[in-house]
A and B are shown apart, each in its own frame.
Chain A
Amino acid sequence: QKEVEQDPGPLSVPEGAIVSLNCTYSNSAFQYFMWYRQYSRKGPELLMYTYSSGNKEDGRFTAQVDKSSKYISLFIRDSQPSDSATYLCAMMDSSYKLIFGSGTRLLVRP
Protein backbone atom coordinates (compact mmCIF):
# COMPACT_ATOMS: atom_id res chain seq x y z
CA GLN A 1 0.00 0.00 0.00
CA LYS A 2 1.30 3.43 -0.93
CA GLU A 3 1.74 5.97 1.84
CA VAL A 4 -0.29 8.50 -0.13
CA GLU A 5 -3.19 7.55 -2.37
CA GLN A 6 -4.64 9.89 -4.98
CA ASP A 7 -7.21 9.23 -7.68
CA PRO A 8 -5.38 9.70 -11.01
CA GLY A 9 -8.48 10.89 -12.87
CA PRO A 10 -8.75 12.34 -15.41
CA LEU A 11 -11.41 14.62 -14.01
CA SER A 12 -13.33 16.60 -16.63
CA VAL A 13 -15.58 19.46 -15.56
CA PRO A 14 -17.28 22.43 -17.28
CA GLU A 15 -15.96 25.93 -16.74
CA GLY A 16 -17.34 27.46 -13.56
CA ALA A 17 -17.76 24.15 -11.73
CA ILE A 18 -16.49 23.46 -8.23
CA VAL A 19 -13.71 20.89 -8.32
CA SER A 20 -12.91 18.56 -5.45
CA LEU A 21 -9.56 16.77 -5.35
CA ASN A 22 -8.69 14.31 -2.61
CA CYS A 23 -5.87 12.31 -1.09
CA THR A 24 -5.70 9.77 1.68
CA TYR A 25 -2.59 8.81 3.63
CA SER A 26 -1.57 6.07 6.00
CA ASN A 27 1.28 7.61 8.02
CA SER A 28 -0.11 9.40 11.06
CA ALA A 29 3.29 11.11 11.53
CA PHE A 30 2.64 13.40 8.55
CA GLN A 31 2.12 16.89 9.93
CA TYR A 32 2.44 19.18 6.93
CA PHE A 33 0.33 18.98 3.79
CA MET A 34 0.71 20.64 0.45
CA TRP A 35 -0.98 20.87 -2.90
CA TYR A 36 1.09 21.47 -6.01
CA ARG A 37 -0.07 22.16 -9.55
CA GLN A 38 1.93 20.85 -12.49
CA TYR A 39 1.42 21.90 -16.10
CA SER A 40 2.55 19.57 -18.90
CA ARG A 41 5.43 17.96 -16.98
CA LYS A 42 6.86 21.32 -15.96
CA GLY A 43 8.04 22.00 -12.42
CA PRO A 44 5.40 21.62 -9.70
CA GLU A 45 4.09 24.93 -8.39
CA LEU A 46 2.99 25.24 -4.77
CA LEU A 47 -0.69 26.16 -4.35
CA MET A 48 -1.45 25.54 -0.69
CA TYR A 49 0.48 24.62 2.47
CA THR A 50 -1.34 23.59 5.63
CA TYR A 51 -0.23 22.06 8.91
CA SER A 52 -3.32 21.64 10.98
CA SER A 53 -6.74 20.13 10.65
CA GLY A 54 -9.36 22.45 9.25
CA ASN A 55 -9.71 24.70 6.24
CA LYS A 56 -7.38 27.21 4.63
CA GLU A 57 -8.58 29.50 1.88
CA ASP A 58 -6.61 31.41 -0.75
CA GLY A 59 -8.66 33.04 -3.48
CA ARG A 60 -10.54 30.36 -5.39
CA PHE A 61 -8.68 27.56 -3.61
CA THR A 62 -9.56 25.94 -0.28
CA ALA A 63 -7.45 23.25 1.32
CA GLN A 64 -9.03 20.98 3.90
CA VAL A 65 -7.22 18.62 6.26
CA ASP A 66 -8.85 15.93 8.42
CA LYS A 67 -6.09 14.27 10.40
CA SER A 68 -8.44 11.95 12.23
CA SER A 69 -9.50 10.44 8.92
CA LYS A 70 -6.09 10.90 7.25
CA TYR A 71 -7.77 12.70 4.40
CA ILE A 72 -6.98 15.97 2.64
CA SER A 73 -8.88 17.84 -0.03
CA LEU A 74 -8.44 20.76 -2.39
CA PHE A 75 -11.48 22.64 -3.63
CA ILE A 76 -11.34 24.92 -6.64
CA ARG A 77 -14.24 27.33 -7.05
CA ASP A 78 -15.30 28.88 -10.35
CA SER A 79 -12.89 26.64 -12.24
CA GLN A 80 -11.26 28.05 -15.37
CA PRO A 81 -9.73 26.36 -18.43
CA SER A 82 -6.38 27.66 -17.19
CA ASP A 83 -6.81 25.40 -14.13
CA SER A 84 -6.39 22.37 -16.41
CA ALA A 85 -3.29 20.66 -15.05
CA THR A 86 -2.20 17.79 -12.84
CA TYR A 87 -2.70 18.39 -9.12
CA LEU A 88 -0.33 16.67 -6.73
CA CYS A 89 -0.88 16.32 -3.02
CA ALA A 90 2.24 16.07 -0.90
CA MET A 91 2.96 15.29 2.72
CA MET A 92 6.09 16.14 4.65
CA ASP A 93 7.61 13.39 6.74
CA SER A 94 9.80 13.65 9.82
CA SER A 95 12.97 14.09 7.75
CA TYR A 96 11.30 16.97 5.86
CA LYS A 97 11.15 15.20 2.52
CA LEU A 98 7.95 15.33 0.52
CA ILE A 99 5.91 12.21 -0.21
CA PHE A 100 3.74 12.84 -3.24
CA GLY A 101 0.49 11.36 -4.43
CA SER A 102 0.39 10.12 -8.00
CA GLY A 103 -1.46 13.25 -9.17
CA THR A 104 -4.96 13.91 -10.52
CA ARG A 105 -5.33 15.22 -14.06
CA LEU A 106 -7.96 17.94 -14.27
CA LEU A 107 -9.53 19.20 -17.48
CA VAL A 108 -11.80 22.25 -17.34
CA ARG A 109 -13.88 22.47 -20.51
CA PRO A 110 -14.76 25.97 -21.84
Chain B
Amino acid sequence: DSGVTQTPKHLITATGQRVTLRCSPRSGDLSVYWYQQSLDQGLQFLIHYYNGEERAKGNILERFSAQQFPDLHSELNLSSLELGDSALYFCASSTKTGRDTQYFGPGTRLTVL
Protein backbone atom coordinates (compact mmCIF):
# COMPACT_ATOMS: atom_id res chain seq x y z
CA ASP B 1 0.00 0.00 0.00
CA SER B 2 1.58 3.26 -1.19
CA GLY B 3 -0.55 5.49 1.01
CA VAL B 4 -2.11 7.22 -2.01
CA THR B 5 -5.86 6.71 -2.27
CA GLN B 6 -8.06 7.12 -5.31
CA THR B 7 -11.83 7.00 -5.67
CA PRO B 8 -13.81 5.55 -7.23
CA LYS B 9 -12.10 2.29 -8.22
CA HIS B 10 -14.33 1.78 -11.21
CA LEU B 11 -16.48 4.18 -13.19
CA ILE B 12 -18.77 3.31 -16.07
CA THR B 13 -20.43 6.12 -17.94
CA ALA B 14 -21.70 7.14 -21.35
CA THR B 15 -20.23 9.26 -24.09
CA GLY B 16 -20.76 12.97 -23.61
CA GLN B 17 -20.89 12.73 -19.84
CA ARG B 18 -18.65 14.34 -17.22
CA VAL B 19 -16.89 12.57 -14.35
CA THR B 20 -14.64 13.53 -11.45
CA LEU B 21 -11.82 11.38 -10.18
CA ARG B 22 -10.43 12.00 -6.72
CA CYS B 23 -6.95 11.49 -5.30
CA SER B 24 -5.66 11.85 -1.75
CA PRO B 25 -1.86 11.99 -1.57
CA ARG B 26 0.30 10.37 1.09
CA SER B 27 0.34 12.22 4.35
CA GLY B 28 2.76 15.13 4.06
CA ASP B 29 3.14 14.99 0.30
CA LEU B 30 2.66 18.32 -1.46
CA SER B 31 2.89 17.18 -5.09
CA VAL B 32 0.22 15.31 -7.02
CA TYR B 33 0.68 13.96 -10.53
CA TRP B 34 -2.01 12.51 -12.81
CA TYR B 35 -1.29 9.82 -15.41
CA GLN B 36 -3.43 8.02 -17.96
CA GLN B 37 -2.77 4.41 -18.93
CA SER B 38 -4.41 3.04 -22.04
CA LEU B 39 -3.62 -0.11 -23.98
CA ASP B 40 -2.34 1.70 -27.04
CA GLN B 41 -0.60 4.70 -25.42
CA GLY B 42 0.87 3.20 -22.28
CA LEU B 43 1.32 5.30 -19.14
CA GLN B 44 1.27 9.00 -19.99
CA PHE B 45 1.70 12.07 -17.82
CA LEU B 46 -1.24 14.46 -17.73
CA ILE B 47 -0.61 17.17 -15.15
CA HIS B 48 1.33 18.04 -11.97
CA TYR B 49 0.21 20.17 -9.03
CA TYR B 50 2.38 21.32 -6.18
CA ASN B 51 0.79 22.77 -3.06
CA GLY B 52 -2.25 23.95 -4.99
CA GLU B 53 -0.46 25.34 -8.01
CA GLU B 54 -0.18 23.82 -11.46
CA ARG B 55 3.47 23.06 -12.22
CA ALA B 56 3.55 21.11 -15.47
CA LYS B 57 1.21 19.90 -18.16
CA GLY B 58 1.60 16.93 -20.44
CA ASN B 59 -0.63 15.76 -23.24
CA ILE B 60 -3.81 16.65 -21.39
CA LEU B 61 -6.88 17.28 -23.51
CA GLU B 62 -8.74 20.58 -23.19
CA ARG B 63 -11.79 18.56 -22.09
CA PHE B 64 -9.80 17.51 -19.02
CA SER B 65 -8.99 19.73 -16.07
CA ALA B 66 -7.60 19.26 -12.61
CA GLN B 67 -7.15 21.11 -9.37
CA GLN B 68 -5.51 20.63 -6.01
CA PHE B 69 -7.36 21.83 -2.95
CA PRO B 70 -6.01 23.44 0.26
CA ASP B 71 -6.15 20.05 2.03
CA LEU B 72 -3.90 18.80 -0.83
CA HIS B 73 -6.33 16.32 -2.31
CA SER B 74 -6.74 16.59 -6.06
CA GLU B 75 -9.53 16.07 -8.54
CA LEU B 76 -9.33 15.29 -12.23
CA ASN B 77 -12.39 16.34 -14.19
CA LEU B 78 -13.11 14.70 -17.54
CA SER B 79 -15.90 16.14 -19.66
CA SER B 80 -17.58 15.44 -23.01
CA LEU B 81 -16.31 11.91 -22.64
CA GLU B 82 -15.45 9.85 -25.70
CA LEU B 83 -14.94 6.13 -26.14
CA GLY B 84 -11.21 6.72 -26.40
CA ASP B 85 -11.09 8.17 -22.90
CA SER B 86 -11.60 4.69 -21.48
CA ALA B 87 -8.42 3.99 -19.53
CA LEU B 88 -6.85 3.61 -16.11
CA TYR B 89 -6.19 6.93 -14.43
CA PHE B 90 -3.50 7.01 -11.78
CA CYS B 91 -2.43 9.70 -9.45
CA ALA B 92 0.96 9.75 -7.80
CA SER B 93 2.30 11.89 -5.00
CA SER B 94 5.71 12.98 -3.82
CA THR B 95 7.01 14.89 -0.83
CA LYS B 96 7.92 18.07 -2.60
CA THR B 97 8.67 18.36 -6.24
CA GLY B 98 11.71 17.78 -8.32
CA ARG B 99 13.55 14.50 -7.98
CA ASP B 100 11.42 13.04 -5.21
CA THR B 101 10.09 9.53 -5.67
CA GLN B 102 6.56 9.39 -7.00
CA TYR B 103 4.27 6.90 -5.27
CA PHE B 104 1.29 5.70 -7.26
CA GLY B 105 -2.26 5.09 -6.13
CA PRO B 106 -4.34 2.05 -7.12
CA GLY B 107 -5.99 3.86 -10.02
CA THR B 108 -9.50 4.50 -11.28
CA ARG B 109 -10.69 2.37 -14.17
CA LEU B 110 -12.91 4.47 -16.44
CA THR B 111 -15.11 2.80 -19.02
CA VAL B 112 -16.98 5.00 -21.48
CA LEU B 113 -19.79 3.23 -23.33
A interface with B by C-beta (< 8 Å): 32, 34, 36, 41-46, 49, 51, 88, 92, 95-103
What's the interface size class on B, roughly? 20 to 34
| A97 touching B43 in the complex, CB below 8 Å, given contacts A41-B107, A43-B106, A92-B99 | no
User: B30-65: which have CB < 8 Å to A?
Assistant: 33, 35, 37, 42-45, 48, 55-56, 58
Q: How distant is the Cα of A97 from the Cα of B32 in the complex, in angstroms?
A: 11
Is there contact, CB below 8 Å, between A100 and B105? no
Is there contact, CB below 8 Å, between B101 and A97? no
Contact of A42 among B4, B35, B97, B107 (CB under 8 A): B107
Task: For B35, list chain A residues within 8 Å (CB).
Answer: 98
Chain B nearest CB from A104 CB (Å) reads: 12
Task: For B42, list chain A residues within 8 Å (CB).
Answer: 100-103
Is there contact, CB below 8 Å, between A97 and B56? yes
23 contacts between A and B (CB under 8 A): A34-B101, A43-B104, A44-B43, A45-B2, A46-B101, A46-B102, A49-B101, A88-B43, A92-B99, A95-B56, A96-B48, A96-B98, A96-B99, A97-B33, A97-B45, A97-B48, A98-B102, A99-B45, A100-B42, A100-B43, A100-B44, A103-B42, A103-B43
Chain A nearest CB from B48 CB (Å) reads: 6
Task: For A88, list chain B residues within 8 Å (CB).
Answer: 43
Task: For A100, list chain B residues within 8 Å (CB).
Answer: 42-44
Whose C-beta in chain A lies nearest to the C-beta of B44?
A100
Task: For B101, list chain A residues within 8 Å (CB).
Answer: 34, 46, 49
Task: For A43, list chain B residues within 8 Å (CB).
Answer: 2, 4, 90, 104-107
Q: How distant is the Cα of A43 from the Cα of B4 in the complex, in angstroms?
A: 10
Whose C-beta in chain B lies nearest to the C-beta of A44?
B104
Chain A nearest CB from B51 CB (Å) reads: 14
Whose C-beta in chain A lies nearest to the C-beta of B100?
A96
User: B76-106: which have CB < 8 Å to A?
Assistant: 88, 90, 97-99, 101-106
Q: How distant is the Cα of A34 from the Cα of B103 in the complex, in angstroms?
A: 12
